[in-house]
């Protein structure tokens, strides 16, 4: 069974490589987020050079470089990394998403080619991220302030995916501070974000002075008390990565709890909605949640007994096969892969291409094919 899955993933990756060779060749010198109506990437570096997703294109390029050794991918990935330097000049443009931005660009570059300038960028990003730690609340603040809102008490589930930057910094420097901060944050998220049924909240808020837990808010899912699927996926993957970095069994158990909840709530057609608790109408999907959950489940399967691993792998394969057969655009003249991604329940647009959906889709397939590089 797993051999069949591996062969299927490899043949799917071969199709992706053929398409992406065309896509990258005609999309040089940009940082995509989504496409226009004609299926052509737009340049997010022009629209917002500080946007949290601006590292994912670099991640896709490093994955493709690893698969093919084509130097074009390496050159384009380094260009993305260099463009991100503008973020490092503006403290108000640095936030907890430093992990997403530099983990998949500078740190990936350093991991693959041992480039010293890339290591320096990764360390600057890690030091800034560690500086967001609130000592009394034992959390990393998520976002920066709005003109009319102090957001120093806000924590979100997504941050679990930014912790690997800190684990990497400790490993690289042999200075335990970064890991200590990451573990403290993960423990806080475990205590306050994960519900007893394995679902996760999106946003929680602390008193930033006393550190006291105050409340949870709705966020990008349907609302307070709901179950935003991308948040569930960040939880599966993020707690698995914290387990890998620490070997703390409680993180593994939390990842398993969220995974069980995700699998139990996955619809029979394996098409993932934006929120597991949203009304039946309107029904909008989010392919990013499916792709992130698939990659997280494959990662989680590495750490559990065979019978449980089979459950996680089968769930991941079902998600990926559904994306490949029903939600992937294989036309080589169209830039995106996944077609029905949704950033948020309460936004005007739903079910469109989003770059991090494509990143995790490719990443999950590389893992299933036994071709992965560890970029987290
Ligand atoms: N990290 C933001 C999001 O998942 O939309």
Q: Is the pLDDT of residue 363 over 80?
A: yes
Q: Name which of 37, 33, 36, 29 is nearest 47 in CA terms.
A: 33
Q: pLDDT band at 2, cuts 50/70/90? A: confident
Select from 354, 368, 371 the least CA-distant residue to 296: 368
Give the position, in ligand 1's atom list, of the atom nearest the Cα of 230: 4
HSE at residue 85, side-chain half, CA atoms within 13 A, is 10
Cα–Cα–Cα angle for 221, 222, 224, nearest 5°?
90
> Could you tell me the pTM of the whole model?
0.98
SS3 313: helix
Burial class (CB in 10 A: 0-12, 13-18, 19+), 147: exposed
109-148 pLDDT, tens digit per residue, is 999 999 999 999 999 999 999 999 999 999 999 999 999 9
Instruction: Exactly one of 45, 97, 287, 358 is catalytic; name it.
Output: 97
Predicted local confidence at residue 60, as pLDDT: 98
| Domain residue spans of the chain | 2-368
Active site residue 358: no
Could you say which of 158, 287, 335, 372 is catalytic? Answer: 158
CATH class for the domain made up of 2-368:
mainly alpha
Place of tokens 């990662």: 299
**Cα 191 to middle of ligand 1, angstroms:** 21
**Atom 5 (ligand 1): residue with closest C-alpha?**
343
**Does the N-terminal peptide bond of residue 275 adopt cis geometry, omega within 30 degrees of 0?**
no
DSSP 43-102: EHHHH-TT-TTTTHHHHHHHHHHHHH--HHHHHHHHHHHHHTHHHHT-GGG--TTHHHHH
Q: 183 is written with which tokens?
A: 């573990």
Bridge partner list, 134: 139
Q: What are the φ and ψ backbone dihedral angles of 263, each rounded to 5 degrees?
A: -65, -45
The predicted-structure confidence for 300-354, as pLDDT tens digits, reads as follows 999 999 999 999 999 999 999 999 999 999 999 999 999 999 999 999 999 999 9
207 is known as an active-site residue: no
User: Which pair of structure tokens corresponds to residue 363?
Assistant: 């990443």
State the distance from the centre of ligand 1 to the C-alpha of 305, rounded, in angstroms.
31
Site residues for ligand 1, CB cut-off 6 Å: 158, 220, 230, 343
């Amino acid at each position: 069974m797993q051999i069949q899955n591996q062969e299927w993933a490899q043949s799917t990756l071969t199709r992706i490589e053929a398409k992406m060779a065309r896509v990258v060749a005609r999309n040089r010198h940009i940082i995509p987020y989504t496409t226009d109506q004609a299926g052509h990437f737009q340049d997010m570096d022009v629209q917002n050079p500080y946007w949290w997703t601006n590292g994912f294109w670099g991640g896709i390029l490093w994955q493709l470089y690893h698969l093919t050794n084509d130097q074009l991918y390496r050159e384009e990935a380094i260009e993305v990394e260099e463009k991100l330097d503008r973020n490092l000049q503006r403290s108000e443009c640095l936030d907890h998403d430093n992990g997403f931005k530099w983990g998949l660009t500078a740190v990936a570059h350093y991991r693959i080619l041992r480039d010293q300038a890339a290591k320096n960028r990764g360390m600057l990003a890690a030091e800034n991220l560690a500086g967001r730690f609130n000592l009394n609340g034992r959390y990393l603040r998520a976002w920066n302030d709005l003109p009319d809102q102090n957001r120093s008490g806000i924590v979100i589930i997504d941050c679990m995916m930014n912790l690997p930057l800190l684990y990497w910094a400790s490993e690289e420097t042999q200075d335990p501070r970064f890991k200590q901060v990451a573990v403290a944050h993960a423990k806080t998220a475990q205590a306050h974000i994960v519900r007893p049924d394995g679902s996760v909240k999106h946003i929680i808020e602390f008193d930033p002075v006393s550190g006291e837990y105050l409340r949870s808010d709705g966020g990008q899912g349907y609302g307070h008390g709901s179950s935003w699927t991308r948040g569930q996926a960040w939880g599966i993957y993020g707690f698995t990565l914290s387990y890998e970095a620490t070997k703390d069994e409680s993180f593994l158990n939390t990842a398993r709890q969220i995974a069980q909840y995700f699998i139990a709530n996955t619809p029979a057609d394996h098409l993932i909605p934006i929120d597991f608790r949203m009304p039946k109408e309107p029904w909008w999907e989010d392919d990013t949640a499916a792709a992130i959950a698939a990659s997280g489940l494959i990662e989680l399967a590495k750490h559990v007994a065979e019978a449980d691993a089979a459950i996680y792998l089968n769930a991941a394969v079902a998600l990926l096969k559904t994306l490949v057969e029903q939600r992937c655009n294989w036309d080589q003249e169209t830039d995106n892969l996944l077609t029905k991604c949704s950033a948020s329940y309460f936004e005007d647009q739903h079910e469109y291409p989003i770059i991090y959906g494509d990143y995790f889709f490719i990443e999950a397939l590389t893992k299933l094919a036994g071709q992965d590089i560890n970029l987290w």
